[in-house]
Chains A and B, each alone.
Chain A
């Protein structure tokens, strides 16, 4: 839609499936307001009572800052792991045929369907010192449960579909001839992947990884059971919000939440802008 011409009603001659532009836009905006904007406004409203100094004091408290670092670090590790394995999974799902492919494909959505708390409890049981994996890893000196590794693992589990599901359709669109063309021109496998395939997948991969990262920043249920929640060490920011809420410190909770929210929004916006530029080039138009 062109921003310049913004008529509130469509000309009669051009009938659309959905009735009236004015009506459908109105309903859309109402929905967005109720479901998305209203809670956000509430959040910001909570902060109105705070002075800037108070706000800063809450969000820069040592324990909270430690939780930012834990969350960001674990989310970054989870996002990188997901970028690599998500790309591999998408590649396998698109490029190869094997028995059980449909099942694996369906399995990709499991983290979306499964309540995150269930995932968290399962992971915690599995990786605790008495669990299967925990027992197997203990002799190697690897501790997963109640460390940041466990946090990253839980985050990776809940956010892997973002990468797979954004990369998959792009990969399906990419004709196999492209690899063949690169090889016929003498490119080694690695070079062909880096210079021909990856640039095509790059926008989708970055978007998927970005979404996975943002999702991990706000993850609560899955992480909380495996994190151990030791102050200054394995506390995540969502937990800090939860703790504030339990202390009936709504303003404090809102202040910390606003930091998470702002970070996520800025990231999403940046991804969108960057992706738009890239896509325009692939599909023609003035690059």
Chain B
């Protein structure tokens, strides 16, 4: 079932003083897994709850929500045929796991309700799917967080919803369980082929799980794209900064040279103040400065865990520390140690013309001039 949002806005408070969502449009295709990504207060949860029908969008301007061809704007949450998974599971604590999962089926009007035998069969199939069959008789308080969230998922799937909505479904779980449930949700989604929308503030989760990611800030959609496109071609500065670690190189350009304290860096940009952005893997380190780049830094912390070594750098001319990732081979060649004085060599940099609004970006590859 595709989802189509048209001109949906939301204001809170008396007289609608606080804007939670600016009027926005969004199209989600049948069978897609969509991540709503943004910092807290960006309106992503509000948007999800509006899709679910747990909250109503503003009457003025009048927006529309379509599930497929069906206009559900005025429909109550119970009639929208959605599954909703809450961050804190919201399980019925006085019911067993079995009764929780069966709830949606047992509250159906008598005429539509499946026979008790069929309910039993369906609940057992769902519990089997979430691998909790042997816990059917337990109460939620006797389960771990991950198990509770799986019960909650099974419960929301019992009515075979067209649309599955998840509000930070893994937010309350520890890293390992989260990873496992993520993979499992992706698998479930591919198998059952419903349309899913989930909210997260974790970029890694959004990029790993989603077919497309909707990046939000301040009640606005900043960019909608596939994870690869999003990471490679961020639409603006906000998206770039939100999707990973960023190093800032701020200074004044004069005659093709950007200066900042005792740091110098050659750029082919017009004169004026500049703020260049670099990803950690775009910063190389060496023992000597280059003609084109003189950026003295001191190593303040080293984390050799993982495929690359993460090095934290500080300098007088830097307002905040830089983060660089170097290969283990380079790490050994340079014999990196805390307190060591080195020179940073930008391989790549990014520049966004106007702070958040414009999409004009400049990306320069300086690798050629730096190649050793």
- The interface of chain A, by Cβ under 8 A from chain B, is 175, 177-178, 180-188, 191-192, 195-196, 199-200, 281-285, 287
Contact = CB atoms under 8 A, between A and B. Distances in A.
A172 to B, nearest CB: 15
Interface stretch (B56-64, B78-86, B175-183, B337-345): B78-86
Given A184-B52, A184-B54, A185-B159, A284 B107 contact: no
14 contacts: A177-B90, A180-B54, A181-B92, A181-B155, A183-B54, A183-B77, A183-B78, A184-B52, A184-B78, A184-B83, A185-B78, A185-B159, A282-B141, A285-B142
Given A180-B54, A195-B103, 9 more contacts: A177-B86, A178-B90, A180-B90, A184-B52, A185-B78, A186-B78, A187-B78, A195-B107, A200-B94
Contacts of A175: 88, 90
A213 to B, nearest CB: 24
B161 to A, nearest CB: 9
A274 to B, nearest CB: 14
Interface of B: 52, 54, 76-79, 82-84, 86, 88, 90-95, 103-104, 107-108, 139, 141-142, 155-156, 158-159
B77 A284 contact: no
Nearest to A177: B90
Contacts of B92: 178, 181-182, 196, 199
Which of B78, B108, B139, B159 has most A Cβ within 10 Å?
Answer: B78
A120 to B, nearest CB: 40
**Most chain B beta-carbon neighbours within 10 Å: one of A178, A183, A184, A287:** A184
B94 A282 contact: yes
Given A182-B103, A185-B159, A281-B94, A287 B139 contact: yes
A285 B159 CA distance: 31
Given A183-B77, A200-B94, A284 B86 contact: no
A185 B103 contact: yes
A180 B77 contact: yes
A188 B112 CA distance: 14
B142 A186 contact: no
B88 to A, nearest CB: 7
A43 to B, nearest CB: 40
B141 A191 contact: no
A283 B78 contact: no
B139 A186 contact: no
A177 B88 contact: yes
Nearest to B86: A177
A109 to B, nearest CB: 29
A180 B84 contact: yes
A207 to B, nearest CB: 16
Contacts of B54: 180, 183-184
Contact of A181 (B90, B141, B159): B90
A184 B77 contact: yes
Contacts of B108: 186
Contacts of A284: 139, 141-142
A183 B139 CA distance: 21
Which 8 pairs, one residue from A and one from B, show the smallest C-beta to C-beta distance? A284-B141, A185-B104, A177-B90, A181-B90, A184-B84, A187-B107, A199-B94, A186-B78
B86 A185 contact: no
Contacts of A178: 90, 92
Contacts of A285: 142
A183 B159 CA distance: 13
A200 B78 contact: no
A281 B90 contact: no
